[in-house]
Amino acid sequence: MRIRPKRLQRGDTIGIVAPSSPPNQENLERSLAFLEQLGLKWKFGQYVKNVNGYLAGTDDERLQDLEDMFADPSISGIICAGGGYGSARYTDRLDLQLIRENPKVFWGFSDITFLHTAMGLYSNLVTFHGPMLASCVGKDTFHKLSAKMFHQLFEPMELHYTEDISPLTAIAGGSAQGELVGGNLSLLADTIGTKFEIDTKGKLLFIEDVGEEPYRVDGMLNQLRMAGKLADAAGIVIGDFSDVEPKKQQKTLSLDEVFRHYLGGLEKPVVEGFKIGHCEPHFAIPLGADAKLDADQKTLTILPGVE
């Protein structure tokens, strides 16, 4: 069993970090009113406003902010300001034992997938794949269901995803249960061959992505296939794949054809259409929590992520 972080309480202080690219500072400021509504205080990492090309400060600065927040006993949880690119640049230097000894809520998605995977493997921590402050919460498009998903941090609750939320399609039938792991497909492909390689054995693998053309998704799924990750998984949960149309007018396979080619013959449940990822609403999920995928009923049930 993974370590479930302690639930948040009203009055708790949240650490805000930018582990990847520079967040939009205006949206970040706007998002603070939402944290206030949740009854939370906040503390910015000292380098959250830094800009280093396409990175939010140097690798050392982003690494220090992250470790400082886990080490600080006054911080009850950590929410990422945004994603983009860059968290994998320092993950091999991240003190994952520090995180294991100071388990707390860690929330983000997209490029944060690399950190989720590392913390799952070496800190044994349940982390949260959910909408971030500058890239989601501080925007006018922030959906009330996305907002509601933060409540799982304050009370242990079982999550139920049905077609009441969005239409779902079963690519392959059956049901399976196991730890829910995964995240952004391109970042999962990046882990292959490193010490942070995603472990899918007996687990439900969740994938999502944005802005990747069908041939790119094809290549990444093929990478996971050849690394044995698709065969090892107990089932596949396909989240949102937005902005995936080919950029040039050319002959192409559809995304559905790509999914069916790689996932249709696995003889395990595969369901697509979950609003999890770069989308609104964004259904936030605890990674590392036990879950059940029923492709026949088209449901996903996830056990609580907090203690």
Domain end marker among 153, 176, 205 = 153
Residues 166 and 142 in one domain: no
Phi-psi region of 211 (alpha: psi -120 to 50; beta: other; left: phi over 0): left
Answer yes or no: is 69 within a domain: yes
Instruction: Write down the pLDDT at residue 247.
Output: 84
Q: What is the mean pLDDT of residues 217-234?
A: 98
Instruction: Write down the pLDDT at residue 248.
Output: 78
pLDDT band, residue 64 (cuts 50/70/90): very high
Q: How many domains does the chain have?
A: 2
- Which tokens belong to 187? 């970042």
For all residues of the chain together, what is the average pLDDT?
A: 97
DSSP 271: E
Evaluate if residue 287 carries a pLDDT over 80: yes
Q: Which residues have CB under 8 Å from 304's CB, separation 6+? A: 4, 152, 156, 157, 158, 286, 289
Q: What is the mean pLDDT of residues 2-23?
A: 98
**pTM metric for this prediction:** 0.97
Determine the Cα–Cα distance for residues 63 and 45; give it in Å rounded to an integer.
10
Catalytic residues: 110, 208, 278
Give pLDDT tens digits for 188-211: 999 999 999 999 999 999 999 999
Residues 202 and 235 in one domain: yes
Residue 107 contacts residue 38 (beta carbons within 8 Å): no
Give pLDDT tens digits for 89-102: 999 999 999 999 99
Instruction: Write down the pLDDT at residue 246.
Output: 86
Residues 275 and 184 in one domain: yes
Cα angle value 129/130/132 (rounded, 5°): 125
SS (HEC) of 58-127: CHHHHHHHHHHHHHCCCCCEEEECCCCCCHHHCHHHCCHHHHHHCCCEEEECHHHHHHHHHHHHHCCECE
Answer yes or no: is 135 within a domain: yes
Give pLDDT tens digits for 245-260: 888 767 899 999 999 9
Answer yes or no: is 265 within a domain: yes
Residues 263 and 170 in one domain: yes
Instruction: Write down the pLDDT at residue 148.
Output: 98
Q: What is the mean pLDDT of residues 295-303?
A: 98
Residues 102 and 174 in one domain: no
Residue 106 contacts residue 78 (beta carbons within 8 Å): yes
Residues 65 and 137 in one domain: yes
Answer yes or no: is 123 within a domain: yes
Q: What is the CATH number of the domain that holds 33?
A: 3.40.50.10740
Q: Which of 90, 84, 87 is nearest to 116 (CA)?
A: 87
Residue 286 contacts residue 302 (beta carbons within 8 Å): yes
Percent of the chain with pLDDT over 90: 97
Q: What is the mean pLDDT of residues 283-288?
A: 98
Q: What is the CATH number of the domain that holds 255?
A: 3.50.30.60
Answer yes or no: is 307 within a domain: no
Residues 247 and 225 in one domain: yes
Give me the domain span that covers residue 186.
159-302
Domain end marker among 110, 125, 153 = 153
Residues 270 and 295 in one domain: yes
Give pLDDT tens digits for 212-221: 999 999 999 9
Residues 237 and 267 in one domain: yes
